[in-house]
Amino acid sequence: MRALWARGHAPVDPASLVAFRVAFGLLGMVSAERFLSFGWDERLFDAPSFHFRYYGFGWVPTPPDGVVTGLFVAILALGSLIAFGLVTRLATVLFAVLFTYVQLIDVTTYLNHYVLVSLLAFWMCLMPLGARGSLDAWIRARRGRPPRPPLRAWMLWALRFQVAVVYVNAALAKATGDWLLHGQPMGIWLAARTDTPLVGDLFAHHEVALVLGWAGFLYDLTIPLWLSLRRTRVPAYTLLLVFHGMTAVLFDIGMFPWIMTAAATIFFEPAWPRRLLGRLVGPRDEASRPIEPTRPRRGLAVTLAIFALLQVLWPLRAHAYGGNVLWHEQGMRFSWRVLCREKNGSIRYRVRWTGSERERYVFPQRYLTDHQEREMAGQPDLVLQLAHHVAADHRARGYEDVEVRVDAWVSLNGRRMARMIDPDVDLSRVPDGLGKASWILPAPGGAPIRLQRPPRVAEDER
C-alpha cells in the first residue's frame, strides 16, 4: 500500500495533464456553443412542459425559461477559464456542477459522452491542474510566490482508468448476437449512408457491416491496452483517429469522437506535448527540484478506490436483470452502451377513471415534444414515468381511481414490432424503481432484419 501510494504520488511531467486540461476546456466550450448555436437550449430544455427525471433525482428543480441558455453561456465561459488555467479549480468545480445539473433536468437529453464529461470534470476537481501551464501559475510566478506542488502520477492513472472504462464497457455492450453475428444495427445505419464519399458503396454489403461491427468491438475492447504500450502507441492512436473520424462522418454522434480523441492522449508519455511542441512548452520546471514525500491519506485512497470499483461494477448491473438490456433498458444508462441499438416505438396510453364508460387514449404529444416522444418510446422506465404523470394530471383535474395502461409497440434493430409493456398492467400503480420490472414484456426472439441491395436501376429508368 505504501509502495503504491508512493508510486501514485511520484511527481510527473505535467505537460500531458496540462494538454488534457486545455483540450477539456476547449471541448467544453465547443459543446456549450453547439447547444446555443443550434438552439438546443430552448428546444430540449425550455420547450417541454414535462421533464423526465432520473430515478432518485425527481427533486432536481426545473429552471425557468431562459435559464438553461444562461447556464450554457456560463459553461462556455468556465470552459475557457479551464483551458487558460485561470481560477482553475473553482472553474472546474463550477463546470462539473453546472454541466451535471443540465443533464439532470431531462433524461431524454442523456448522452454517454455528456456523462463522461461530467465524470472527467469531477476527477479534475480533485487535481490541481492549474498548478502548471496556466495563467494561475503565471500570476503566481509574477507575484514571486513559489510554484504549487507538482502534479502526481495518480492523476494520470485516474484519467486513464476513466477513459479505459468507457472503451471496455462500450465493447462489452457490443458483445451481442445482433452486433457480432447479424451485423445490426450497423447494417441499417450503413445502408443509409451509401452516399459517403469514396467508401459509401461498400456500406451496402452485409459483410461490411459485420466486419465493421467486429472491428468496432475489438477496437473498443483493446484500444486502452495498445495506447498504454509504448511500442503500439503510434499505430494505436492512428487507428483511433481513423475510427473516431469514421464515427464522426457516419453518425450524428456530436462531440464524442473529439472528446475521445483528446482524452486518449492521456495514455501517452507525460512529456508528449514537450516532444510535439518543443520549445513552445519549455523545460520541465520541477525536474531538478527535490520533492517532499507525502504521507498516505487512507481515507482519500479508500474513497477513490471505491469510486473506481463502482465505475467497474455499475455498468455490469444490466446483467443482473437478465434478458436483453437493449429491450428492457434496465441498467442501460451509465453503462457506456454507445451506439448499439436502433429502436423505434409507437406509444399511446389508455386511461380509465371512475364513471368513464370506456378507455380514453392519451397520445404522448399532449405532454411531450417530438424529441422527448422519440426518446421515450424505446425506454420503458420513461413510459412508466409519463404514465404516472398522466395519472397525476387526471387526478388533479378531479378524476378518481385513474388507471393508465399503455400500448407500447417497439421495433428493435429492424425486427417486427412487438409489445414492450404488458398492456393489461395499470402503470399508475407500478412504482418506479431499480428492481426487475415484471411489467416489461420479454424481448422478441429471432434475428434482426437483414437488408439487401436493391437491384440496379437501368440507365434509361433513372
Examine residue 232 and tell whether it contacts other proteins (CB under 8 A).
no
Residue number, 94 or 421, with CB nearest to other proteins: 421
Examine residue 279 and tell whether it contacts other proteins (CB under 8 A).
no
Residue number, 64 or 455, with CB nearest to other proteins: 455
**Is the CB of residue 333 less than 8 Å from the CB of residue 39?**
no
At residue 198, the 3 state secondary structure works out as coil
Shortest distance (Å) from residue 161 CB to other proteins: 21
Range in contact with other proteins (rule: CB under 8 A) among 18-26, 94-102, 239-247, 381-389: 239-247
Residue number, 56 or 235, with CB nearest to other proteins: 235
d(Cα 382, Cα 94) in Å, to the nearest integer?
29
Q: Which of 65, 344, 442, 447 binds other proteins (CB under 8 A)?
A: 344
Examine residue 141 and tell whether it contacts other proteins (CB under 8 A).
no
Q: Which of 253, 264, 325, 384 binds other proteins (CB under 8 A)?
A: 253
Q: Which of 194, 222, 228, 232 binds other proteins (CB under 8 A)?
A: 194
**Is the CB of residue 171 less than 8 Å from the CB of residue 221?**
yes
Residue number, 126 or 228, with CB nearest to other proteins: 228
Examine residue 361 and tell whether it contacts other proteins (CB under 8 A).
yes
Q: Which of 9, 244, 333, 405 binds other proteins (CB under 8 A)?
A: 244
- 17, β-bridge pairs: none
Residue number, 195 or 424, with CB nearest to other proteins: 195
Q: Which of 41, 136, 220, 342 binds other proteins (CB under 8 A)?
A: 342
Q: Which helix (H) or strand (E) holds 212?
A: helix 206-228
Residue spans of beta strands (DSSP E) within 330-423 = 343-352, 360-362, 403-412, 418-419
Shortest distance (Å) from residue 53 CB to other proteins: 19
> Which class for 462: exposed (0-12), middle (13-18), buried (19 or more C-beta within 10 A)?
exposed
Examine residue 357 and tell whether it contacts other proteins (CB under 8 A).
yes
Range in contact with other proteins (rule: CB under 8 A) among 19-27, 58-66, 82-90, 193-201: 193-201
Q: Which of 59, 144, 457, 460 binds other proteins (CB under 8 A)?
A: 457
The alpha carbon of residue 197 and the mean position of all alpha carbons in its chain are separated, in whole angstroms, by 28
Would you call the peptide bond into 185 cis, given omega within 30 degrees of 0 as the criterion?
yes
How many residues sit close enough to other proteins to count as binding (CB under 8 A)? 85
Q: Would you state the cell numbers that stand for residue 250, as one nine-digit string?
A: 457516419
Shortest distance (Å) from residue 364 CB to other proteins: 10
Residue number, 31 or 88, with CB nearest to other proteins: 31
Examine residue 316 and tell whether it contacts other proteins (CB under 8 A).
no
> Which class for 64: exposed (0-12), middle (13-18), buried (19 or more C-beta within 10 A)?
exposed
Q: Which of 196, 222, 228, 232 binds other proteins (CB under 8 A)?
A: 196
Examine residue 410 and tell whether it contacts other proteins (CB under 8 A).
yes
Considering only residues 19 to 78 of the shown chain, the ones binding other proteins according to CB under 8 A are 38, 40, 43-44
d(Cα 287, Cα 295) in Å, to the nearest integer?
21
- Sign of the Cα pseudo-torsion (69, 393, 56, 363, in order): negative
Least Cα distance to 31 among 236, 193, 262 occurs for 262
Q: Would you state the cell numbers that stand for residue 414, as one nine-digit string?
A: 429492424
DSSP state of 43: I
Q: Would you state the cell numbers that stand for residue 411, as one nine-digit string?
A: 421495433
Residue number, 9 or 337, with CB nearest to other proteins: 337
Q: Would you state the cell numbers that stand for residue 224, as one nine-digit string?
A: 486502452
Examine residue 370 and tell whether it contacts other proteins (CB under 8 A).
yes
Q: Which of 148, 160, 374, 388 binds other proteins (CB under 8 A)?
A: 374
Examine residue 461 and tell whether it contacts other proteins (CB under 8 A).
yes
d(Cα 118, Cα 155) in Å, to the nearest integer?
16
Angle between helices 256-263 and 15-37 (to 10 degrees): 170
Considering only residues 199 to 228 of the shown chain, the ones binding other proteins according to CB under 8 A are 200-201, 204
Residue number, 218 or 242, with CB nearest to other proteins: 242
DSSP state of 449: P
Count the neighbouring beta carbons within 10 Å of the beta carbon of residue 458: 7
Considering only residues 85 to 124 of the shown chain, the ones binding other proteins according to CB under 8 A are 109, 111-113
Examine residue 256 and tell whether it contacts other proteins (CB under 8 A).
yes
